[in-house]
Structure 1
C-alpha cells in the first residue's frame, strides 16, 4: 500500500522518469518511486508539471493537491476511473438503502462526538464538560434531527477557546491551521473513495449540489479530531508557516484505533471505506462497520 506524502515547494519541475517521480531544482535531482506515493501536495505556483507525469499519477491513484497563494488547497487531480468494478459499484451505491444510510450517519456522528471527548480528555478539560459530550453522543437520533453534532461542537471548541471563538473567523490562525489540515484530510478521503469505485459526489448526509465530494464530507467527521488534537496541543505561532504545514500534512501518518488495531490515518481511511462498502453489501450488517477511534491516538511522533 502506498504511504509516502510528498510536499513540493521551491522546485523547478516535476516529471516522469520510468516509474518514478523526478524532482528537479537547478542542477539537483531526486527520484521517488510512484508506487510509494500516496499523495503529492504542490505549493509552488511556478513549478512545471509534464502531462505525461499527470497521466501516470492518475493511473497510480495518487492524490495530487494544488495549493494557492494562501497555501490552502485549491484543486486536486483524481482519476476518471479508479476501480476495475467501478460501474457495478456505482450502481450499488445509488441503490443504498435509506434506512442503512440513516444508521451509518448516526454512527458517524456518535463516533465523531466520542472522538472529540477523547481529545478533551487528552487536554485535561474538566470532566463535567466531557460528560456533556458523552451524554450528547447517546442522544444522537435518526439523521441527528436535533443537531447533537452542533451542540457538541460548541461545547468542544469553547472548552479550548473563549466564548467569542467562532470556527468561521478567518482572522484566527488556529482556524487557518484547522482548515488546512481538514482540506488535506478531505482530499485524502476523496482519493480513496474514487479508488474504491464509489461516486464521490453522492453522499449519505451531505448532498450539496455544488459539492463534488459529498461522500468525503460525510466520512471526514470522525477523523477531524486528529487534526484538532494536533492544533490544540501544538498551536501555531504564525500563519501557516512551511514547517507547520508540513506537520499538518504528516498527520496522515498519525495513528488511530480501528478494527481493534492501531493504524495510520491513511490505512484507517482505507479500512473505514472498505467496511462501509461491506456494510451496504450485507444490507446493513453493523458488525461489519469499522470507524476510526481517537482512543490511543498518536499525533506527535511524526
Structure 2
C-alpha cells in the first residue's frame, strides 16, 4: 500500500511504477493507494493504476477514505457472471448469507475467546442458531453481545459506523482499507459490485463488498483492541498497524493471509453463482496466539 495522505506534490507515472516526490515505487508491490488533500495524481499515473489493477482511495482532511476508484477488467466471463449474479436464486442467496454470517460470528467469538471473555459462549450459541438468510437477525444479536464487552465491560463503547470518537474512527479506517481490497477482489473475479447477496440498497454501488467483508471485520477489531489505550488515527504508526492486518494469517497460525482469503472468497462466489460450487466456505478469523499489545 502507498499512503500519500500526508504528502504534498504530485504522483506521476514512470516506467513500471510511480514517482512520488522523486521516489520510485514499483507498482507490482502496490495493491491500494491512499490519496490525501495535499497530494495530486496525474492522468498517466491513473492509467498505470488501472493497468496494474490497483485501487485508489481518496481521503478527507482526517486521512479517512471517502471515495474509491477501481479499474475495469478485460475478462471474457464478466458479462456471463454479471448475468448469473442478477439471476441468483433466493434460496442460494440465503444460503450464501448464512455461511457469511456464521463465519463472521465465529471470528468475533474467537476474538472474545482470545481476550478470555465469557461472552464467547453466548456468541457460540448464537452462531449455531443462524438459519438460512438469517431471518432472526442473529448477526445483530451477536454484534450487540460482542461490542458490549470487547473493549471492556466498563468501557461503555457503542459501535456507531461513521462516528468520529477514537475507537469508532480506528474501526472505520480499518474497515475502509479492507473494503478497498474487497472491491479489488470482486473486480478481479469478474463480479459486479452493485449486485449484492444480501445488501441491496439502490444507492450503494458496492453492496457486494459490504457482503463479502463481513467475515474479515473481526481481524480489524483485533488490531484495534490490542492497540495502546491512547492510540488514535492522529498517530501515523496506528494507521500502519491497521493496514498491516491484511498481511496477517487468517487462521492465526500461518497459511493464507487476510488479503489472500478475501480474494479466495470472491473467487468462490464467482463459481458459486455459476453453480460450480454447492456452498460458500468463507475463511474464519482466528487471532494469533500470545499477541502482545501493539504500539
TM-score over 0.5 (shorter chain) = yes
Partners of 1:90 and 1:17 in 2: CA distance: 34
Aligned residue number for residue 6 of structure 1 = 2
> Are 1:115 and 2:114 counterparts?
no
TM-score, structure 2 length as denominator?
A: 0.90
**Aligned counterpart for 2:284 among listed residues 281, 290, 293:** 293
Q: For the Cα contact (< 8 Å) 1:100–1:284, is it kept in 2?
A: no
Aligned-residue CA RMSD (Å):
2.3
Residues 206/297 of structure 1: CA separation in 2 closer, same or farther (3 Å cut): farther
> Are 1:157 and 2:167 counterparts?
no
Residues 232/261 of structure 1: CA separation in 2 closer, same or farther (3 Å cut): closer
Aligned residue number for residue 36 of structure 1 = 29
> Are 1:242 and 2:236 counterparts?
yes
Partners of 1:279 and 1:176 in 2: CA distance: 35
SS at match of 2:285: strand
Instruction: List gaps (5 residues or longer) in structure 2.
Output: none
Q: How does 1:86-97 map to 2 (within 5 A)?
A: 86-97=78-89
**Aligned counterpart for 1:268 among listed residues 245, 255, 261:** 261
**Aligned counterpart for 1:184 among listed residues 171, 177, 186:** 177
TM-score, structure 1 length as denominator?
A: 0.88
Residues 218/82 of structure 1: CA separation in 2 closer, same or farther (3 Å cut): farther
> Are 1:106 and 2:102 counterparts?
no
Q: For the Cα contact (< 8 Å) 1:168–1:175, is it kept in 2?
A: yes
Q: How does 1:223-234 map to 2 (within 5 A)?
A: 223-234=216-227
Aligned residue number for residue 135 of structure 1 = 125
Q: For the Cα contact (< 8 Å) 2:99–2:281, is it kept in 1?
A: no
Instruction: List gaps (5 residues or longer) in structure 1.
Output: none
> Are 1:144 and 2:138 counterparts?
no
Aligned length: 288
Q: For the Cα contact (< 8 Å) 1:202–1:214, is it kept in 2?
A: yes
Q: For the Cα contact (< 8 Å) 1:173–1:236, is it kept in 2?
A: no
1:77-126 deviations in Å (ceiling 9; x for gaps):
11133534321221122122221111110010011111100000111112
**Aligned counterpart for 1:47 among listed residues 28, 39, 54:** 39
Shift of 1:276: 1.6
Structure having the larger proportion of residues in strand: 1
